[in-house]
Amino acid sequence: MVSQSVVPFHSVVPPYLLDAIAERGAERFPKAAAAAASCRMSDESCRNLRLAGLRYTPPADLGRDESALAPPAPAGLQRLVHDAQNTEVLPGELVRSEGEEPVDDEPVNEAYDGLGASYALFSEVFGRDSLDGAGMPLMASVHYGKDYDNAFFDGRLMVFGDGDDEVFTGFTGSLSIIGHELSHGVISHTADLEYLGQPGALNEHCADVFGALTQQHDAGQNAEDADWLIGAGIFTPEVTGRALRSMIEPGTAYDDDVLGKDPQPAHMDDFVTTDSDNGGVHLNSGIPNRALALAAIAVGGPAWESVGQVWYSVLTGAEITQRTDFAEFAELTIAEAADQFGAGSDVHDAIVSGWETVGISHAGSARGNQGSSW
Amino acid sequence: MNEKPAGGFGHLLVERSGGIGGMLLVWEVDIDASTRRDELGPRIAELPWSDSGQSDGVVQSDDAPQATGADRFAYLIESRYGRVRFGETQMPPEWKRLVDDVREVAEPQRRQPG
């Protein structure tokens, strides 16, 4: 019986047990399995197991129970939101699981809803089941750190700080940011673009693309009606700025006495060479961001049905590598647009024009170029 | 090493870049003028500048400190003793303690990258 053995909660659960629970326990104990998966991401805090009421069976016993060994059924949307309680210990306490009612903590509910909207984009539009395409639980932690001015993806978990209330408010207040972080998870499971230099800027770019599309899809918004902002609303009223970034007008998101001016370039002529920020990954992403936004607006209508399809196919395709650079990525999107929509189609031509506008020059074809003149 | 070295302990600079906003913050302390000189100076002098993080200050694909996950902060720490870079999650405790201390004694300055 699975319930006969009890995890010694006073000590850290060995990783192999968490693996067994997470990978083979989903059918009987979906919450516990998800919590175990959550614990595996960190050496810290396995309190979620206790909160989930977990009882485990050692792997040997699991071997005698056919149902416990059966692969879990497709999971669908499974959200687990944790509260880091203003520490830097992850994941923190599990405070809202899939299907549970809203709690009296707005960042928790914002994260829960944001993960749902992000999941919906990938599931409904691209047919992708979660980060790994196989129903991996979506796990988030809110209230990370003290006055923490950031949100990040740590490899398994989407983490959101509360901000300092001077420059930044809480990072769950922007759906595009939640979508951005979840998209990093998709990227890590697909192209896994190296987080450095141009590939790193493409990593950031793709996270921005699907973050923006999450917001537009959730709002049922056409490309020409969208603001193409990332992080709108997370500045306090004291800051002169609209958002962290503008995809359509890089370099214009803020211009503030304290923050300075948005440093994102919008053209290859202004490409930033720096040792900071892993080679400027959050800066130079402005260049491909503008190319995509221009293309989406030129095509019009829901961007997830046009350029979004092209970008997703490239990101998840076989030809992109961890070190793909801007020019190679541009070529892949143009070739993909020709494949999906036809050479000379509105989508194809808009993408060609978008890349030309930001100064990404044609350096030969990665896929034969399909007869394109670009 | 409690003696003030010839020429003093000099300045200590901590630069934080990255994060989802990609913003650059710098904390700079004149150690010799700091009220915590006697505490910070010797600690800085004794840190393993040449054996920690990435010490040459040049970001190269094969040896750069890779962030654990996306949108984490990246740190550059510089003094007369050397220059090191760390990803947010890769900073040893003695360096993290130094960064925390510097953030206590210095006001952050926002700078334009590049």
Predicted ipTM of the assembly: 0.84
| Tens digit of each residue's pLDDT (9 = 90 or more) over B97-109 | 999 999 999 999 9
The CA distance from A310 to A126, in Å, is 11
Tell me which residue in A187, A273, A278 faces B74 most closely, judged by beta carbons.
A278
Active site residue A282: yes
Residues 43-82 of B with CB under 8 A from A: 57-59, 61, 64, 66-74, 76
Rounded to the nearest integer, the mean pLDDT of chain A is 83
Instruction: Give how far A361 is from chain B: nearest CA, Å.
Output: 23
Instruction: Tell me the pLDDT tens digit for each residue of A250-286.
Output: 999 999 998 999 999 999 999 999 999 999 999 999 9
Residue A99 clears pLDDT 70, i.e. is over it? yes
Q: How many CA atoms lie within 13 A of A86 on its CB side?
A: 6
pLDDT at A365 over 50: no
- Name the fold adopted by A197-371: Neutral Protease; domain 2 (1.10.390)
* Mean per-residue pLDDT, B49-68: 54
**Which of A282, A328, A331, A348 is labelled catalytic?**
A282
**Chain B contact probe: residue of A90, A255, A278, A283 with most B CBs at under 10 A:** A278
Confidence band for B50, pLDDT divided at 50, 70 and 90: confident
Average pLDDT over residues A9-32: 36
Residues of chain A with CATH 1.10.390.10: 197-371
Closest Cβ opposite residue A258 in set B57, B59, B110: B110
Nearest one of A229, A259, A261 to A245, comparing CA atoms: A229
Q: Which residues of A touch B66 (CB under 8 A)?
A: 194-196
Angle subtended by helix axes A106-120 and A175-188, to nearest 10? 50
Task: Report pLDDT digits (tens) over A62-85.
Answer: 333 444 444 444 469 999 999 999
Q: Express each pLDDT in A140-182 by its tens digit.
A: 999 999 999 999 999 989 999 999 999 999 999 999 999 999 9
List the single residue in A152, A196, A207 with the smallest CB-CB distance to B64: A196
Does residue A246 contact residue A228 with C-beta atoms inside 8 Å? yes
Chain A and chain B share a number of CB contacts under 8 A equal to 113
Q: Report the relative pairing of strands A79-83 and A138-144 from DSSP bridges.
A: parallel
Where does residue A16 rank: exposed (0-12), middle (13-18), buried (19+ CB within 10 A)? exposed
**Is there a catalytic annotation at residue A184?**
no
Q: Where in chain A is the domain with CATH 3.10.170.10?
A: 79-188
Highest CATH level, class, for A79-188: alpha beta
